[in-house]
Amino acid sequence: MGSPDSEAWRSDDETQHTVTVSDFYISRYELTQKEYEDVIGSNPSSFSGGKLPLENISWLQAVAFCNALSEKDGFTPVYEINDTKVSWNRAANGYRLPTEAEWEYACRAGTTTPFNTENSISAEEANYYGHYPYQIEENYFSQGNLETKPGIFRQKTVQVGSFPPNKKGLYDMHGNVSEWVWDYYGAYDTVSLTNPIGSEAGTFRVYRGGGWNDFAKNMRSAYRATMADDMGSPNIGMRLVLNAAPGEGTISGSARQITRKSNDGKVLIAYFSWSGNIKSIAGEIQRQTIADLFEITLVDPYSCNYNTVLDEAQRNQNTQVKPEIENRVGNMEQYDTVLLGYPNWWASIPMPIAAFLEEYDFTGKTIVPFCSHGGGRFGQSLTAIVKLAPNANMSAALSIHYSGGSSLISDISGWLTQNGIQNNRLNF
């Protein structure tokens, strides 16, 4: 489980270690919208189609569905749900989410390479942002070294089972939609364990596999994504698991609650902009909120040349180099909420945003992201923010296609209302 140090684009949280998992049953396919609607009677998905994978579902909705389907099929529900606290009865025979270890075992299907298709994966083997195959970042201008060349970007989910299965007969373990797992996000326990269940407590849950708008680097078998358990996304769905034999014990839902700071709800708009799109968007947000505005600038700015900055940005991401920020926020302690703006660069945050997040203590603050993109929406930028500010709250994010177009003003207004932000104050 995890990745070797030599794997390109690996993260520090993928420490390779040995685990053992007991036998289990896992669905060949991601849960479809029809299967969800037949039980729940509604459908939260952004794309519409009975045979398309369910998406835009939160972790809490996912475990509630598992219980509802278990009751419908005459099984004992696995989860005890008390508001947002969820416990798992490992002896119950009902439907459940896989653990992170079970998911990776099923995905890898015996491989130790970045993908279950081995060293690369094409847009003919999985549904993802096919313009950006594995290792495109460092080979963007000279693609002769790429094992897989750029392919189609479908910009949507596709019917489950549209691509060849892995060696265990499982479809779409890479791409289409990511899949929620049981585990809280946290550092791996690297000793050899049987049936590990992840961190004992946390604030965010893990999802795996990458989706239709992910770059290949974020679909690797070892890649770990994370989000708050009450949030969903158009590229996150689920896959069902059943015990092959009863397990033992009950796993308590020991969620670590983040205490929200309260200093009269003052709001800061902090942003990094290269092309000017985010600067313009941040200006409109300030006009609607009268919040304080802070532009993140660098001691050594990126090149003004587009091709050069693409190369600089990917090198900084790949080596996790955080450039030095030129300016500082005066009295960051006064702000409860930070509206954090950035362009989606290489499916993640620009490294100046990483430097900003490391510069201050965000414990108890609420981060509300907004990003501009060329088609990949947030990519894995939200996961990157969570990993850098694990003791912050995260609220509903806004993705804007390039500069936002004619709907920008209303889109921002609706997003601010959704987050309870008005006139530089939280308004609940």
3-state secondary structure 233-291: CCCEECCCEEECCCCCCEECCEECCCCCCCCCCCEEEEECCCCCHHHHHHHHHHHHHCC
Give the CA-trace dihedral at 131, 133, 139, 145, to 10 degrees: -130
| % residues pLDDT > 70 (the chain) | 96
Domains of the chain, first to last: 1-257 (3.90.1580.10), 267-426 (3.40.50.360)
What is the CA 18 to chain-centroid distance, rounded? 25
Q: Which of 147-156, 214-223, 252-261 has the lowest mean pLDDT?
A: 252-261
pLDDT at 376: 85
Q: Is 204:389 a contact under the CB 8 Å cutoff?
A: no
Tens-place pLDDT, residues 367-412: 999 999 998 899 999 999 999 999 999 999 999 999 999 999 999 9
Q: What does the pLDDT average to over 182-193?
A: 93
Closest by Cα among 236, 284, 271 to 370 = 271
The Cα 175–Cα 212 span in angstroms is 6
Q: What does the pLDDT average to over 316-340?
A: 94
pTM comes to 0.91
pLDDT of 118 > 70? The answer is yes
For 184, other C-beta atoms within 10 Å of its C-beta total 22
pLDDT of 262 > 80? The answer is no
pLDDT of 263 > 60? The answer is no
pLDDT of 221 > 90? The answer is yes
pLDDT of 256 > 50? The answer is yes
pLDDT of 255 > 80? The answer is no
Q: What does the pLDDT average to over 102-123?
A: 98
Q: What does the pLDDT average to over 74-91?
A: 94
pLDDT of 92 > 50? The answer is yes
The Cα 89–Cα 272 span in angstroms is 46
pLDDT at 318: 86
pLDDT at 195: 96
Confidence band, pLDDT 50/70/90 cuts, at residue 253: confident
Q: What does the pLDDT average to over 309-337?
A: 93
pLDDT at 261: 55
Q: Is 166:109 a contact under the CB 8 Å cutoff?
A: yes
pLDDT at 201: 83
Concatenate the DSSP letters of all residues of 286-350 into one string.
HHHH--EEEE--BSSPPPSSHHHHHHHHHHHHHHT--PPBS---TTGGG-SEEEEEEE-BTTB--
Q: Is the four-CA dihedral 397, 88, 191, 103 of positive or negative sign?
A: negative
Confidence band, pLDDT 50/70/90 cuts, at residue 4: very high
The Cα 148–Cα 144 span in angstroms is 10
Q: What does the pLDDT average to over 307-330?
A: 92
pLDDT of 422 > 50? The answer is yes
Confidence band, pLDDT 50/70/90 cuts, at residue 424: low
Q: Between 83 and 157, where is the model more confident?
A: 157
CA distances from 307 to 1, 258, 310, 319, 368 (A): 36, 41, 5, 19, 30
Helix (H) or strand (E) holding 180: strand 178-184
Q: What does the pLDDT average to over 43-49?
A: 97
| % residues pLDDT > 90 (the chain) | 89
pLDDT of 172 > 50? The answer is yes
pLDDT of 353 > 70? The answer is yes
pLDDT of 428 > 50? The answer is no
